[in-house]
């Protein structure tokens, strides 16, 4: 731990967060003048630091660009007297020029170290741009550069859907400049879900649960900038923090922005492919989501004739090797296709004469003969294929669309080409008839049906037939996606992400989950749950209820 502490110290010039248990105020100037100290010396006082600090604080002298660390002065015995006087003494690098003095306070386990800079305000500042410069000429000394450290503001609250081991911690971010403030063992979350963060300066903050490398913010926000903030007043005291859950929400202002948000949360730049589908209809994206999940790229939704600002920004970030447009010009115009050439050197269209032929065209362009499985879904409705596309992406097989009572010539031709080891029919006989199921036996020796009493139960049945626990003795499925089963846009992009991350998509209503879905969540015990879409799609009440079923929850079965 001691070595880790010193590794952190080297990064001080790049760190602007506030450290755990430290609130700094400018103390009255020391009764010293330039005549009292040697030339080329900066001196002042530090008070309010407990004598039993495990890792004592330090003062740091920065160059004018905040990039050059001039020197760090550890406040240890021999460096600072009991009255708190410190000095950057002569013999350090020449002091002529403009500098900034920062006071750093460690908790002993901070993953990010913070600095308060000397400023004109009583509290100092965590923003380098607001710091007060200290300009010196050769042979000059500076006095009265004083700091006071004291515990002040406290935030308390609770979590649901959290781990019960010692890895769960409350973390705090600076709201006005969303850098990590503290991530400390001092703020472990209790088994009951209670947390308390102490030692915060007056200001605006965001609170999150930190577990296993991820932060979980109130309302399922993905970043500190999106989260609801809490305010520590100048009078300090205890402030109620937000109630948080171990569920993340991926959502945007509309279906197009939501698909971009899902992509941003899932994929890193340099993806092999990005699929573009019409977000106002579902057929092309149903087959495309399975292919995207298999190949490791997102499905991004657009209108027929325009690309939204969010999609444009996401394509710029992704830098895909190639882009595939799903469907004909009635779905995505050539105007949009040509605009997409700004984001990748290779742009192709995968389309057929209708939705059934398009699903076959997507399959032909993606899968070689001998696939382990092919999924057959009704192309006139969407629910069964939403859950099926995630499973198909996970297992490496296509989703092919049919009518209830017939298989199109294009789909039949592709099934002959694919030679799947098995075929899975999605949904009950109202979706795909037994007549079609029997016809499918001409293309594979094993043909099964995955179905439930309704679309919600069917999504659970598909998940149950596809996913097992990663480690039956410990971990469940890594990631579970929850989507509204009464509408399609959020789940279209989510199914591709789920296929890529090898997790299921389960369908619910806005405010309730079916018994079959609840039972399936209990069975697979996901490590994390991702809600697709805003509160109009899945309410916060339902999100919290589902979070209590996750593997990491103290309320899990």
Provide the residue ranges of all domains of the chain, joining segments of one domain with +. Answer: 2-149, 153-245, 249-547
Please report the pLDDT score of residue 145 as a whole number. Answer: 74
Which of 98, 131, 137, 111 is CA-nearest to residue 15? Answer: 111
- pLDDT tens per residue, range 469-512: 644 444 568 889 999 999 988 998 999 999 999 999 999 999 99
Residue predicted with more confidence, 180 or 304: 304
Span of 301-305, 515-519, 540-544 with lowest mean pLDDT: 540-544
Averaged pLDDT for residues 369-383 = 96
The answer, as to whether pTM is greater than 0.75, is no
Task: Look at 190 and 239; give whichever has higher pLDDT.
Answer: 239
**Cβ-based neighbour number of residue 13 at 10 Å:** 18
- Helix, coil or strand: residue 547: helix
- Band (pLDDT 50/70/90 cuts) for residue 253 is very high
For residues 525-529, average pLDDT: 83
Share of the chain above pLDDT 90, in %: 46
Closest alpha carbon to 540 in 86, 258, 235, 160: 160
Contacts of 195 (CB under 8 A, 6+ apart): 156, 157, 158, 159, 170, 187, 188, 189, 207, 209, 241
Q: Could you tell me the pLDDT band of residue 229, with boundaries at 50, 70 and 90? A: confident
Instruction: Tell me the per-residue pLDDT of 289-310, one tens digit each, with 9 for 90 and over.
Output: 999 999 999 999 999 999 999 9
What local confidence, expressed as pLDDT, does residue 528 receive?
81
18, 73 Cβ separation under 8 angstroms:
no
The single residue listed with the structure tokens 């626990």 is 469
State pLDDT tens for residues 348-365: 999 999 999 999 999 999
26 contacts: CB under 8 Å, gap ≥ 6: 118, 119, 121, 122, 123, 124, 146, 147, 148
Binned at pLDDT 50, 70 and 90, residue 389 comes out as very high
Q: Read off the pLDDT band of 149 (50, 70, 90).
A: low
The reply to whether CATH 2.60.40.1120 applies to domain 153-245 is yes
pLDDT of residue 134: 76
When pLDDT is averaged across residues 164-188 and rounded to a whole number, the result is 59
Q: What is the pLDDT of residue 106?
A: 47
pLDDT, one tens digit per residue, over 37-91 is 666 677 777 655 555 554 455 666 666 665 445 555 444 433 444 455 666 654 4
- For residues 296 and 499, is the Cβ–Cβ distance under 8 A? no
């Amino acid at each position: 731990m001691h070595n880790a502490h010193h590794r952190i110290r080297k990064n001080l010039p790049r760190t602007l967060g506030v450290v755990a248990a430290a609130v700094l105020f400018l103390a009255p100037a020391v009764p010293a003048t330039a005549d009292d100290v040697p030339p080329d010396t900066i001196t002042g006082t530090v008070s309010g630091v407990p004598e039993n600090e495990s890792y004592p604080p330090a003062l740091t002298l920065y160059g004018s660009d905040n990039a050059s660390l001039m020197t760090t002065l550890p406040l240890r015995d021999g460096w600072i007297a009991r009255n708190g006087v410190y000095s950057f003494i002569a013999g350090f690098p020449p002091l002529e020029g403009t500098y900034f003095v920062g006071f750093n306070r460690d908790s002993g386990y901070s993953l990010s170290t913070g600095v308060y800079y000397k400023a004109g305000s009583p509290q100092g500042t965590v923003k380098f741009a607001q710091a007060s410069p200290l300009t010196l000429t050769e042979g000059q000394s500076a006095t009265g550069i004083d700091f006071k450290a004291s515990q002040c503001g406290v935030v308390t609250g609770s979590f649901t859907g959290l781990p019960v081991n010692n890895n769960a911690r409350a973390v705090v971010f600076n709201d006005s400049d969303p850098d990590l403030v503290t991530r400390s063992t001092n703020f472990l979350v209790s088994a009951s879900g209670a947390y308390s963060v102490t030692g915060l300066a007056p200001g605006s903050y965001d609170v999150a649960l930190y577990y296993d490398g991820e932060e979980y913010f109130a309302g399922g926000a993905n970043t500190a900038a999106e989260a609801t903030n809490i305010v520590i007043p100048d009078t300090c005291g205890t402030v109620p923090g937000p109630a948080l859950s171990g569920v993340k929400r991926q959502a945007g202002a509309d279906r197009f922005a939501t698909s971009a948000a899902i992509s941003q949360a899932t994929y890193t730049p340099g993806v092999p492919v990005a699929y573009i589908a019409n977000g106002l209809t579902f057929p092309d994206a149903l087959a495309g989501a399975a292919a995207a999940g298999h190949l490791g790229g997102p499905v991004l939704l657009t209108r027929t004739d325009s690309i939204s600002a969010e999609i444009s920004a996401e394509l710029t970030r992704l830098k895909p090797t190639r882009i595939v447009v799903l469907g004909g010009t009635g779905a995505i115009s050539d105007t949009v296709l040509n605009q997409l050439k700004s984001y990748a050197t290779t742009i192709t269209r995968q389309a057929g004469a209708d939705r059934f032929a398009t699903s076959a065209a997507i399959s032909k362009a993606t899968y070689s003969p001998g696939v382990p499985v092919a999924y057959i879904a009704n192309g006139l409705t969407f629910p069964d294929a939403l859950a099926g596309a995630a499973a198909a992406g996970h297992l490496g097989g296509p989703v092919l669309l049919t009518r209830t009572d017939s298989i199109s010539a294009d789909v039949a031709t592709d099934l002959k080409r694919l030679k799947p080891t098995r075929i899975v029919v999605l949904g009950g006989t109202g979706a795909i008839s037994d007549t079609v199921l029997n016809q499918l036996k001409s293309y594979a020796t094993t043909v099964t049906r995955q179905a439930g009493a309704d679309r919600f139960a069917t999504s659970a049945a598909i998940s149950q037939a596809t996913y097992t626990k990663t480690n039956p003795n410990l971990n469940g499925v890594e990631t579970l996606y929850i989507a509204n089963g009464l509408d399609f846009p959020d789940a279209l992009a989510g199914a591709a992400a789920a296929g890529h991350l090898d997790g299921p998509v389960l369908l619910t209503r806005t405010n309730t989950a079916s018994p079959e879905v609840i039972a399936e969540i209990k069975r697979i015990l996901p490590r994390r749950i991702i809600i697709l879409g805003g509160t109009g799609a899945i309410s916060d009440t339902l999100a919290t209820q589902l979070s209590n079923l996750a593997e990491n929850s103290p309320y899990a079965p």
